[in-house]
């Protein structure tokens, strides 16, 4: 348990960041799930639209420190390849 004022403040900050990052991760996962569903449906136009919506969300996660940039790049590369393979 935190004893010093500094440690108590740090614990509060960590909790706040955790909540914010959790919400960001959840939002990104939602966009990725919608993209997966669009790919599964087989309709290329829907998949392209979902990809265009998911890409900035994923990159925003990188800039906010939720995801590593290489992780996001790998995800986008694989997903865009799957979208391109449609049609």
- Residue 44: Cβ-neighbour burial (10 angstroms; 0-12, 13-18, 19+): middle
Q: Structure pTM?
A: 0.87
**What domains does the chain contain, in order, with CATH numbers?**
5-85 (1.20.58.110)
pLDDT in tens, 33-87: 999 999 999 999 999 999 999 999 999 999 999 999 999 999 999 999 999 999 7
pLDDT in tens, 18-30: 999 999 999 999 9
Query: Which phi-psi region, left, alpha or beta, contains residue 2 (left: φ > 0; alpha: ψ -120 to 50)?
Result: beta
- Phi, psi values for residue 51, rounded to 5°: -65, -45
């Amino acid at each position: 348990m935190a004893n010093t004022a500094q440690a108590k403040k740090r614990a509060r900050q960590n909790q706040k960041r955790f909540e914010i990052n959790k919400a960001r991760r959840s939002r990104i996962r939602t966009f990725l799930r919608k993209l997966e569903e669009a790919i599964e449906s087989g309709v290329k136009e829907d998949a392209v639209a979902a990809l265009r919506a998911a890409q900035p969300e994923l990159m925003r996660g990188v800039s906010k420190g939720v995801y590593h940039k290489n992780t996001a790049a790998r995800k986008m590369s694989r997903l865009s390849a799957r979208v391109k393979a449609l049609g």
